[in-house]
Amino acid sequence: MINLYPTQIESISLHRIGNKNKSEAIFLSAEPHVLNDETTGLLKEYFFRPFREKEENYYHLSNEVDVEFNEVYKIVSEIFSEPSSTHANSKKLATYLYEQSNHPHIKSGEVYVAYLSDVLLDNVKVDAVGIFKSELKHDFLQFEEKGGNLDIVIQQGININKLDKGCLIFNVNKEEGYKVLSVDSNRYDTKYWLENFLGVDVLSDDNFKTKNYLKFCQNFAKDVVLPAEDKQQEVLFMNRAVNHFAKNDAFEETDFLNEVIENPELIPEFKHYKVEKGPKYSIEDVSTFDIANKAVSDARKKIKNVINLDTNIQIKMDFINPESAEKFVEKGWDEERQMYYYLVYFNKEQKS
């Protein structure tokens, strides 16, 4: 888990790169940018906000032969080894990014390379290198007094509420290619940033395993539990699954299956489904791991505990404890009407 509020920008270098495919130029600043309190506050919000709002999906720098051959890895390692070399190495990073700008869709823009201190990663302070790029320019209005009138001047600039591209490379796990977070607001050139420039692979850590295992369970509930039983049991299965993750520090698949799957006939179905669909979620060989609490909290927010009926009625089963749903909601069949029904028990209606 990352906390960027105490993070300090120790140094920052600004460069501009064009689209190499279109023969646009590259401009490398001779010196690092001198920060003041106002620009520091604005830049921290511009750079860090997307990482606070985005789900934490970690990567690591890689190469098909060895991580030592990853260009960003080599340059960032020099920076971590000698932080005073940040500006000189920022030119190498900007030049390398320019070399990858060969597709006609890639936009020119400003590149910022920052050396960061006091980043809280899993409650431990670490240093990091931030690489950011602004691409899209927006029109905005300025006003000038001319004689007795107030005149409108149209100018272009970047929207500091939306970072186009950025990554944080943390000074941990060097041998495995560091730990990396990335954001990319623009979907027209995704390979350019993650693959061509950074050269990253997904980091299969506990957060990744927790998140993907719960996504896999959600699809098992939809594809197997729902057709075999009903919507109520689909909802209850996912509630039991998330609650199992929430109350345990470590995951063990056999314990999970025995606790979460109430119908024993579905256990072999689950194992078969994992063989078939597990590779899609990179959990085919995963049966034990430490549970990441933030991934569980994120998964709980995304689960839809709603039963939609063909009579235009919705039943929202907002239960932390799935046993409550079984206690207060009953499903039955009305012979006279030839229709299913849900019987809901309650003490009083709550005021909205």
Q: What is the mean pLDDT of residues 217-230?
A: 91
Locate 23 and state its tokens.
């023969």
Least confident of 241-250, 312-321, 340-349: 312-321
The H helix count followed by the E strand count for the chain is: 11, 17
Gap between the Cα atoms of 108 and 192, Å rounded: 13
Q: Answer whether residue 324 shows pLDDT above 70.
A: no
Q: Answer whether residue 322 shows pLDDT above 60.
A: no
On whether residue 351 sits in a domain, the answer given is: no
Q: How many CA atoms lie within 13 A of 34 on its CB side?
A: 0
The β-bridge partners of 166 are 132, 183
Locate 113 and state its tokens.
């390379």
Residues 305, 218 within the same domain:
yes
Phi, psi values for residue 325, rounded to 5°: -65, -40
Contact of 62 with 27, CB cutoff 8 Å: no
Residues 188, 310 within the same domain:
no
Q: Answer whether residue 320 shows pLDDT above 60.
A: no
On whether residue 138 sits in a domain, the answer given is: no
Residues 78, 220 within the same domain:
no
Q: Which domain holds residue 70?
A: 2-133+162-203
Q: Compute the chain's Rg from CA coordinates.
A: 26
pTM: 0.76
Q: What is the mean pLDDT of residues 40-47?
A: 94
Residues 211, 199 within the same domain:
no
Q: How many CA atoms lie within 13 A of 129 on its CB side?
A: 29
On whether residue 149 sits in a domain, the answer given is: no
On whether residue 96 sits in a domain, the answer given is: yes
Residues 117, 169 within the same domain:
yes
| Residue at a domain's end among 203, 230, 264 | 203
* Angle formed by the axes of helices 206-220 and 293-302, nearest 10°: 30
Residues 172, 26 within the same domain:
yes
Question: How confident is the prediction for the chain on average, in pLDDT?
Answer: 89
pLDDT tens for 139-154 read 888 888 888 889 888 8
Q: Answer whether residue 136 shows pLDDT above 70.
A: yes
CB atoms within 10 A of CB 26: 18
Residues 260, 298 within the same domain:
yes
Residues 166, 238 within the same domain:
no
Contact of 221 with 238, CB cutoff 8 Å: yes
Q: What is the mean pLDDT of residues 217-231?
A: 90
| Residue at a domain's end among 152, 172, 203 | 203
On whether residue 240 sits in a domain, the answer given is: yes
On whether residue 156 sits in a domain, the answer given is: no
| Residue at a domain's end among 149, 182, 203 | 203
Residues 49, 172 within the same domain:
yes
Residues 193, 234 within the same domain:
no
Q: Give the model's pLDDT for residue 258.
A: 93
Residues 109, 237 within the same domain:
no
Q: Is 95 helix (H, G, I), strand (E, B) or coil?
A: helix
Helix (H) or strand (E) holding 156: strand 149-157
Residues 129, 237 within the same domain:
no
Q: What is the mean pLDDT of residues 56-78?
A: 93
Q: What is the mean pLDDT of residues 184-195?
A: 82
Is 18 exposed, middle or buried (CB count within 10 Å of its CB: 0-12, 13-18, 19+)? middle
Q: Answer whether residue 339 shows pLDDT above 90.
A: no
Name the pLDDT band for 352 (thresholds 50, 70, 90). low
Give Cβ neighbours of residue 126 (< 8 Å, ≥ 6 apart).
Answer: 119, 170, 171, 172
How many structural domains compose the chain?
A: 2
Q: Is 302 helix (H, G, I), strand (E, B) or coil?
A: helix
On whether residue 166 sits in a domain, the answer given is: yes
Least confident of 8-22, 43-57, 272-286, 291-305: 291-305
Q: Give the model's pLDDT for residue 30.
A: 96
On whether residue 128 sits in a domain, the answer given is: yes
Residue ranges of the alpha helices (H) in the chain? 37-53, 71-81, 86-99, 190-191, 206-220, 226-228, 231-247, 253-260, 266-277, 293-302, 322-328
Q: What is the mean pLDDT of residues 303-328?
A: 70
pLDDT tens for 70-94 read 999 999 999 999 999 999 999 999 9
In Å, how far are 217, 223, 236, 286, 304 from 273, measured between CA atoms? 10, 9, 19, 14, 22
